Amino acid sequence: QAKHSGRNQYRRFTAPLRDSAQKRLDLLKDLQSALETGQFALQYQPIVDMQSGRVHKTEALVRWHHPERGLISPGEFIPLAEDTGLIVALGDHVFHQAARQLAAWRDTLGTTIDISVNVSPVQFKSDGLRPQAWMDTLRELGLPGSAITLEITERLLMEIDDQTRIRRQAFQEAGLKMALDDFGTGYSSVSYLKSFDIDYIKIDQSFIRHLAPDSEDLALCQAIITMAHHLGMQVIAEGIESQAQHELLRAVGCDYGQGYWYSRPVDPDRCAELLKTMQSGGTLLPTADKPDQ
Ligand code: C2E
Ligand code: MG
Ligand code: MG
Ligand code: MG
């Protein structure tokens, strides 16, 4: 009897595991062709100036529209793309798509909006990544390097080698900016901040989620902001979902915020509308928070 129930338990625990391994294999197979058949699209999420409520940049976030499975989140397929090396081609696609979109917005809307693009450590370190090709694209589109911010993670900083440093320098000479994404979730030493010449620190959403007055998380945010400002960097808080979080962070001098409270990631058309609203003096602070006009 005990043996029997033990086996049942065994089956109960392995079936989901087997399913997820199978799902992974299926996705892996589909990933190869997804790029060629144009199944990847970008959404854009505003990064908002906390004082003025105006859009500072937008972050490009990749979406996979799978013909059978529907929308698949990057959390699911970016790791697969990294394992297979496809991340290099996918990352190139994202960069070029985002740059073209940015040039189009600048032309049609007459804004000076900038854009942020995520770069995986695997992609950053790959021989397949060619900074010169990216610069050529920017030049053809008439975009200054400073219009582009590359979002990297602590994982990259922990594995810096000569190649990585040379790449960093090439991007820097072209004027691109660097943001350190998901700050506080890795194990890197803060000394890396200096050696890699970071422009923005993005405080990970796990520090924002339970933000409250007098909380440890708020103390940590405050310390990060103070440190960043002393090092000449600016701070973006990720995952702001409430006015309370916005107010607390603004009060401790956080420069920029990103999160559902301002706007979810949106399709290019919707983003163009948001940018148009900015052009006519609008802000992304929900009305309750706006000063009387
Ligand atoms: P990330 O770069 O840290 O992007 C922020 C993630 O938080 C996005 O998830 C965004 O939709 C989500 N988010 C924004 N505001 C809120 C909020 O208020 N509450 C909550 N709960 N979530 C919020 P998404 O789009 O699913 O992307 C997940 C991760 O996948 C990204 O994290 C990034 O690491 C990676 N990723 C996305 N696009 C790309 C890409 O083009 N290339 C690479 N290499 N990685 C990408
Ligand atoms: Mg990011
Ligand atoms: Mg992040
Ligand atoms: Mg994240």
- Asked if residues 211 and 249 have their Cβ atoms less than 8 Å apart, the reply is yes
Atom of ligand 1 lying closest to residue 43 CA:
25
Ion ligand 2 — residues with CB < 5 Å: 118, 151, 181
ipTM above 0.95 for this complex = yes
Q: What is the pLDDT confidence band of residue 75, given thresholds at 50, 70 and 90?
A: very high
Which protein residue's CA is at the shortest distance from atom 7 of ligand 1? 239
Segment 209-235 shows an average pLDDT of 96
Pairing of strands 40-49, 256-257: antiparallel
**Which of 1-5, 45-49, 164-168, 284-288 reaches the highest mean pLDDT?**
45-49
Which residues sit opposite 237 in a β-bridge? 203, 257
**Predicted local distance difference test score (pLDDT) of residue 253:** 98
Nearest CA to ligand 1 atom 17: 239
Rounded to an integer, the average pLDDT of 107-129 is 95
User: What pLDDT was estimated at residue 286?
Assistant: 76
Confidence of residue 235 (pLDDT cuts 50, 70, 90): very high
Supply the pLDDT for residue 158: 87
Q: What average pLDDT does the segment 160-178 reach?
A: 93
Question: What residue owns the CA closest to ligand 1's atom 25?
Answer: 61
Lowest mean pLDDT among 105-114, 165-174, 190-199: 190-199
For the cut 70, the answer to whether the pLDDT of residue 87 exceeds it is yes
Contacts 24+ apart (CB under 8 A), 157-162: 157/186, 157/188, 157/192, 157/193, 157/196, 158/186, 158/187, 158/188, 158/192, 159/121, 159/125, 160/192, 160/195, 160/196, 161/125
Average pLDDT of the chain is 91
Candidate of 42, 48, 78, 204 to mutate for ligand 1, largest count of ligand atoms within 8 Å of Cβ? 78
pLDDT of 17 reads 66
Q: Is 265 in the pocket of ligand 1 (CB under 6 A)?
A: yes
Question: Of the residues 39, 61, 87, 246, which should be mutated to test ligand 1's pocket, given the most ligand atoms within 8 Å of the CB?
Answer: 61
Please determine, for residue 288, whether its predicted confidence score (pLDDT) is greater than 60: no
pLDDT reported for residue 10 = 56
**DSSP bridge pairs for 45:** 59
Q: Is 93 in the pocket of ligand 1 (CB under 6 A)?
A: no
Q: What's the pTM value of the predicted model, to 2 decimals?
A: 0.92
Ligand nearest to the CA of 73: 1
Please give the pLDDT value at position 230: 95
The H or E element containing residue 139 is helix 131-141
pLDDT score at 135: 97
* Beta strand ranges found along 50-190 (DSSP E): 55-66, 70-72, 114-118, 148-153, 177-183
